[in-house]
Structure 1
Amino acid sequence: MKILTTLCCIFTLHKIGVKCSEGTCSADQSDCSDLEEDKKYAESKNNRWSHYLEEIEKAKASYEPCQSSNCSCHTTLIEKDLLVFKDGITEDLINRARTKGVLYQILNGKVYREEECMFPFRCSGIEHFLHKISAELPDTEFVVNTRDWPQVPNYRRDVLPVFSFSKTNDFYDITYPAWTFWEGGPAISLYPRGLGRWDQHRISVRKAAKKWPWKKKKDVAFFRGSRTSGERDPLVLLSRKRPDLVDAQYTKNQAWRSEKDTLGAPPAAEVSLEDHCQYKYLFNYRGVAASFRFKHLFLCESLVFHVGNEWIEFFYPAMKPWIHYIPVSKDADEKELSDLIEFAKYNDDLVKAITANGAEFIQDHLKFEDITCYWRELLKKYSKLLKYRVKKDDKVKVLKG
């Protein structure tokens, strides 16, 4: 307080001609009130953010960066997923799992698949990677679910070996890299065949990021997407009240019928992944399952607010809240959302460091070779669990590489 009062005296000396002694003002100290208020505001602001600052410190204390050799950042999930099958996988289990997805076989280095595939783009997105590694694998077979929803709930005793791209802790499905790294994904007017080609987006979105460095980005949070979940409503409503803080609007999807489907407002135009890079803060929400856009947002070198932690893809476990992104509760209301955004705005250097961590992780640990490596390690470890010799099924046909 002595220092504060002395500073106040120095500040007012030339204005009112007061004399300052150590820690005191000899004139009316009402002129110090402004500085006192500033101090109270600073203390209040620090207290307001104390919870978030503590979370960051805790995250830093426990975080160990992963190594990039042999996709080791991600392989702990393989061990976890396969643990439930530690006693082996029988032919009977595979036959029963076939009702849940598409049967693939790899025999003598060639890839085979059941003739029918419910989603051709999804199958081709999977097969792109299988062809790359088939010569390195033993004879094997596995069932791949190409639907959005996982198939093996953990409340059932009948645990079947089914591969799914996304799941929660309520499912025993074996996680594999989604088809969207190569082809498929949500089809919208900007991406009529789905997002697809992760290798191309790594180039185009990063190029857009260079046009919008941190200091040039718009200082608002941004979201565009259809209303696949009510979890998104509070951000859209906040945007209508605080356009200075958030630009969040609903777009059409295939199920859109009226403005009721966009929360009572006309649907907004879709925005390309590259144009997301204009904004400093980007919100990611799950859709029916994990969001395909999550990985793309980091390429913008913008801060990612990731809502909910239930749904994962294969690379999610290696990414840590408060290190690579800011986590947001799926039940967050408008107040919590505005607090988090304002925290980011008032702690620019701090969140810029989180932004850099997230962008670096995706750039270094989610390359095409990491995806191919994950498939290879997954199928090698999975194949060791098969308790029978795989023979060519009558219903499969060889696929051209």
Structure 2
Amino acid sequence: MAIFDKMIALWILVVFSFFTSCSAGKSEKQAKWDKYLKHIEDAVTDYEECSSENSGCYRSVLDADFKPWRDRGGIKQEDFERGKKDRRNGVVHYQIIGHKLYRQENSMFQPRSVGIEHFLLKLLPLLPDMELLINTQDYPMVNKWIDPTPILSFSRTPNEVDIFYPAWTFWSGGPFLKTYPEGLGRWDEQRKVIGKKSEEFPWKKKKSKAFFRGSRTSSERDPLVKYARQNPSYADAAYTKNQAWKSDADTLGKPPAGEISLADHCKYKYLFNFRGVAASFRFKHLFMCRSLVVHVGEDWKEFFYPAMKPWVHYIPMDVEMKDLPVMIEFVRKYDKVARAIADRGYKFVDKHLRLKDIELYWKNLLLTYHSLMQWKPKRDMSLKQIK
């Protein structure tokens, strides 16, 4: 009888432990959901919408980028010459002299240069004489721990002090894919195409799935792809080929998936954005779907990122993505909350990231840069005129 009693006691202990762990699991999940709701409530309460007038949404970015140069007493010619001497392939020397644009003969990435030069040429009548070093590579150039050089880059991390400029893809250039054989630009046209598709797939018609399609340029994307393979009802995420693809090992052991146009992303409610080699060009496009954007990682940025706020315009996730299942369950359960974030993200991009906002940013960027130049540039005869 004593043995039987011990067996019963042991069974009760096992059952109690099981239900206790289940209850604790539920409580832990709900606690995280409550934490998410609190983040959203606080972020929305604190958020003040910016003004597009005179680059108001991005003025703090310009101020921060040029503060090191103001502190140094301006941009000196020796700083510029040091940048010319130390620059790597992909950093292009431009001059604006007498309202004409000149560029070094060789440009490593011609389509990228075209995307940059569209804005420079358009602004020429307003611009005084100046010379610039514009980085057309993906990687930034100016480490924060060394003496800075005045190089403009489209993307950077907190470890660099390159001066932001709007990426070439607002007008032309990559990525070059089967779905975009001539490159992803132009932004004004993509806004229309994706916006039209979003009207075909309003929130109620979208699939309640997390979605991602892209190449494996970073292993930070792996957790979502692995999750989707195990949970196809909750997520559709797969790797496509890129130029470096050699075997299925490059797509995490599976054959590469077909490419999906950015417009067709609008069929899904939850769109994931990851860094690529640098900041991902897809980020701004995803918002035009009126879907909820989940942005993974916070280091890589473009000039407009700081104006968009986590929990207000998108949901942030750390690169380890340990809470991925809990987050996906959260957005599925709290559908109205998810939709409200999606709507705010769309409205920001639609209202504050138009092509005219990009042109205005370029204008303020160049005029601020010129105001800090401590020398008058002389025509470099090795540069050719760009018309």
TM-score (norm 2): 0.90
User: Per the alignment, in what secondary structure is the counterpart of residue 188 of structure 2?
Assistant: helix
Q: Which residue of 1 aligns with 2:382?
A: 395
Q: Which residue of 2 aligns with 1:212?
A: 201
Q: Which residue of 2 aligns with 1:89?
A: 75
2:41 matches 1:52? no
Tell me, yes or no, if the aligned pair for 1:168 and 1:312 is still in contact at 8 Å.
yes
2:294 matches 1:310? no
Query: Could you list the per-position Cα deviations for residues 286-306 of structure 1 after superposition, in whole angstroms to 9, with x for gaps in the alignment?
Result: 001000000000000000000
After TM superposition, give the deviation of residue 47 of structure 1 in Å: 3.1
2:208 matches 1:222? no
Q: What is the rounded CA distance, in whole Å, between the counterparts of 2:178 and 2:47 in structure 1?
A: 40
Residue from 166, 172, 177 that aligns with 1:177: 166
User: Per the alignment, in what secondary structure is the counterpart of residue 269 of structure 2?
Assistant: strand
After TM superposition, give the deviation of residue 45 of structure 1 in Å: 6.5
AA aligned opposite 2:76: T
After TM superposition, give the deviation of residue 61 of structure 1 in Å: 2.6
Residue from 270, 280, 288 that aligns with 2:269: 280
Residue from 308, 320, 339 that aligns with 2:326: 339
Tell me, yes or no, if the aligned pair for 1:245 and 1:338 is still in contact at 8 Å.
no
Q: What is the rounded CA distance, in whole Å, between the counterparts of 2:134 and 2:25 in structure 1?
A: 57
Residue from 172, 177, 183 that aligns with 1:188: 177
Q: What is the rounded CA distance, in whole Å, between the counterparts of 1:254 and 1:104 in structure 2?
A: 30
2:91 matches 1:104? no
Tell me, yes or no, if the aligned pair for 2:176 and 2:182 is still in contact at 8 Å.
yes
AA aligned opposite 1:50: D
After TM superposition, give the deviation of residue 212 of structure 1 in Å: 0.2
Q: What is the rounded CA distance, in whole Å, between the counterparts of 1:275 and 1:394 in structure 2?
A: 48
Q: What is the rounded CA distance, in whole Å, between the counterparts of 1:95 and 1:302 in structure 2?
A: 46
Q: Which residue of 2 aligns with 1:145?
A: 135
Tell me, yes or no, if the aligned pair for 2:29 and 2:326 is still in contact at 8 Å.
no
Q: What is the rounded CA distance, in whole Å, between the counterparts of 1:296 and 1:210 in structure 2?
A: 15
Q: Which residue of 1 aligns with 2:20?
A: none
Q: Which residue of 1 aligns with 2:353?
A: 366
AA aligned opposite 2:78: D
After TM superposition, give the deviation of residue 398 of structure 1 in Å: 1.3
Report how many residues are paired: 359
User: Per the alignment, in what secondary structure is the counterpart of residue 350 of structure 2?
Assistant: helix
Q: Which residue of 2 aligns with 1:247?
A: 236
Residue from 43, 48, 64 that aligns with 1:64: 48
Q: CA RMSD in A?
A: 1.6
Q: What is the rounded CA distance, in whole Å, between the counterparts of 1:297 and 1:67 in structure 2?
A: 22
Residue from 95, 110, 116 that aligns with 2:106: 116
For the pair shown, the structure with the greater C-alpha radius of gyration is 1
2:117 matches 1:127? yes
Tell me, yes or no, if the aligned pair for 1:324 and 1:355 is still in contact at 8 Å.
yes
Q: What is the rounded CA distance, in whole Å, between the counterparts of 1:382 and 1:171 in structure 2?
A: 18
Q: What is the rounded CA distance, in whole Å, between the counterparts of 1:60 and 1:199 in structure 2?
A: 28
Query: Could you list the per-position Cα deviations for residues 132-189 of structure 1 after superposition, in whole angstroms to 9, with x for gaps in the alignment?
Result: 1111111111100100000001111x21000000001100100000000111121111
Q: What is the rounded CA distance, in whole Å, between the counterparts of 1:313 and 1:44 in structure 2?
A: 35
TM-score (norm 1): 0.87
After TM superposition, give the deviation of residue 43 of structure 1 in Å: 7.6
Q: Any gaps of 5 or more consecutive residues in structure 1?
A: 1-38
After TM superposition, give the deviation of residue 64 of structure 1 in Å: 1.0
